[in-house]
Structure 1
Amino acid sequence: MILRQRRFLPNLSLLLAFDAVMRRGSVTGAAQDLGLTQSTISRLLQSLEAQLGQSLFTRHKKRLTPTEAAQRYFRDISGALDIIQRAGMSLIANPDGGTLDLAVLPTFATRWLAPRLPDFLSQNPGISVNLATRFSTFSFETEPFDAVIFFGRDDWPGAKHLKLFEERLTACAAPQFLATHPIAQAEDLAGCVLLQLATRPGAWADWFAGQDATRPEGVSGMVVDQFSMMIQVAISGLGVALLPDYLARIEIAEGRLQPILRPGVPGRGAYWLAWPDRKAGLKPLEAFRGWIAARMARDGVHADQA
């Protein structure tokens, strides 16, 4: 059994005062946030320093400057406070069921996951799902997530993986763009603006290879950081989008974009669900894994666990 040493576990009021001063950069701002007086905030900081046996601030003419040790402590404490707050929110919002905290790519969340979540929730009453967007790799040890949906390879640090589907690429453009830039072969893209996602620098090369063609001379590029932005730019007629096929099909079905040449060209990488081994037995996560694998099978995609 782990015995928690009280010296290293300051009262929550001390930590909240410290967190507020670090976030706002002043005692005055912290006092406003917490509804306390400046003198109370100062006393709480002094009590925290006394308990830890460390000076966290240098003081000069009533101005506080955090030490390097304070900066390190703040990074750890702010993450811990986020976890405590999230746990309280989950308990209040869903006292009788489980909660799944899921990190996910923003466009995947809005265009694929969100329309299907009611199906999951109806099959699993009592479970709630909290969603937050993340673009880059993080550590499950420092972020309060039970799982993540990401694009790439099955190499998330310290995690188990379930492959959702491999990426296939479809080029498409707005009907008004194609009316003035008819494209019957890859060479017709010369002079066109090719829209590219910042995290997929080799995607157009894969697409041209899938057309048994090489990239023609005279094409220019525009780099964006989200597929949702790329879609809107393409709908506006500013260039040719290269989208994951599951996104392209939505826009094509709704008539906002039209496919160009051969659709569904194999790309590099896949969409994955990943989770830390210590969360593997979490009931909401088990339910979500089973549900999303079944949805992939229903959509004609096979999900593989790694």
Structure 2
Amino acid sequence: MRLRRYLPNLSLLLAFDGLMRCGSVTGAARELGLTQSTVSRLVQTLEEQLGQPLFLRHRRRLIPTDAASRYHQDVSAALDLIQRGSMSLIANPEGGSINLAVLPTFGTRWLAPRLPAFMTRHPGILVNLTTRFQSVSFSTEPFDAAIIYHQGETMQDHSLRLFDESLTACASPAFLAAHPISEPDDLTSLVLLHLQTRPDAWADWFRGQGAQAMPSGGMVMDQFSMMIQAAISGLGVALLPDYLARQEIAEGHLLPILRPAVPGRGAYLLVWPRTQAESRPLVHFRDWLAAEVA
């Protein structure tokens, strides 16, 4: 049974959230469409219910305490979750939805082109996408699942391994015409494009070519999409996951260099929290993904 003392009225939480975000009673009142005195009274009522001071009163200003800042993180996450749930129910009352965190380039280049097939098979289920670089905390963020890049053998308890990453070096046709490459040593004087989150990728690629050492230096980027455009523009040699390289090669934007699809160190996983393991929309999405990568 939920204890009402620990479940403040929504109007109290909205006033508290507005005050924390706006930084002033005036701003919160304007945003919420209330008077300043009403916002102040709601916040005071919240403090009385919790038995804790959340703000220091100084010259008609409310200064949040450290406890208020910590509490606001939880309140803000809870309000976001309620809002997303309400929006999903209104937009799609019959089928449900999946709030999915996904790596940016994976989402745009691999997942998005395939989603129409899922929507056709499951027309009542909406897939809401949010791109994320960092790891996802299911306990504090309103996600039902995430597609992540994972290195190492340890698998998460609730996960589906989609496919291992393999690496293909590519460059534009014009770049290769000006800089012919027939062996790994030919890359020593060229600009290599590195991804920030894959510091060992080029070393793995050179070992996969049978080379002992790799050149140092190059340009570092934080997204594969940026690296692809840089390579197409002739800035240097890109090292791409093979699923991305195949698409650019098929479209004639880039050409492969030496041995393609060298094994990398990581894999792409679909992960989800224990609380969502039996969610009907997620089960359908998980089964569909498994069939796609089979």
Deviations 1:241-264 (A, max 9, x none): 110000011111111111111110
SS of residue in 1 equivalent to 2:219: strand
* Selected match of 1:150 from 144, 148, 151: 148
* Selected match of 1:86 from 72, 84, 87: 84
Match of 1:177 in 2: 175
**Is 2:98–2:127's contact at 8 Å kept on the other side of the alignment?**
yes
Deviations 1:191-245 (A, max 9, x none): 211111111111000000011013455x522111111111112122111111000
**Is 1:174–1:256's contact at 8 Å kept on the other side of the alignment?**
yes
Please, which runs of 5 or more residues in structure 1 have no aligned partner?
Answer: 298-306
1:200 paired to 2:198: yes
1:105 paired to 2:103: yes
The alpha-carbon deviation at position 293 of structure 1 amounts to: 1.0
1:240 paired to 2:231: no
Range 28-37 or range 232-241, more displaced: 28-37
**Is 2:206–2:214's contact at 8 Å kept on the other side of the alignment?**
no
Please, which runs of 5 or more residues in structure 2 have no aligned partner?
Answer: none
SS of residue in 2 equivalent to 1:177: helix
Match of 2:136 in 1: 138
**Is 1:171–1:263's contact at 8 Å kept on the other side of the alignment?**
yes
The verdict on how the C-alpha distance between 1:176 and 1:29 changes in structure 2, with shifts beyond 3 A counting, is: farther
Q: Structure 2: how far apart are the matches of 1:152 and 1:228?
A: 19
Match of 1:225 in 2: 222
**Is 1:156–1:274's contact at 8 Å kept on the other side of the alignment?**
no
Matched pairs, number: 293
Q: Structure 2: how far apart are the matches of 1:162 and 1:211?
A: 30
Match of 1:213 in 2: 211
Coordinate RMSD, CA, aligned: 1.5
**Is 2:167–2:264's contact at 8 Å kept on the other side of the alignment?**
yes
Q: Structure 2: how far apart are the matches of 1:10 and 1:156?
A: 39
Q: Structure 2: how far apart are the matches of 1:71 and 1:136?
A: 22
Q: Structure 2: how far apart are the matches of 1:132 and 1:119?
A: 20
The alpha-carbon deviation at position 39 of structure 1 amounts to: 2.2
The verdict on how the C-alpha distance between 1:143 and 1:262 changes in structure 2, with shifts beyond 3 A counting, is: same
SS of residue in 1 equivalent to 2:140: coil
Letter in 2 for 1:55: P
SS of residue in 2 equivalent to 1:84: helix
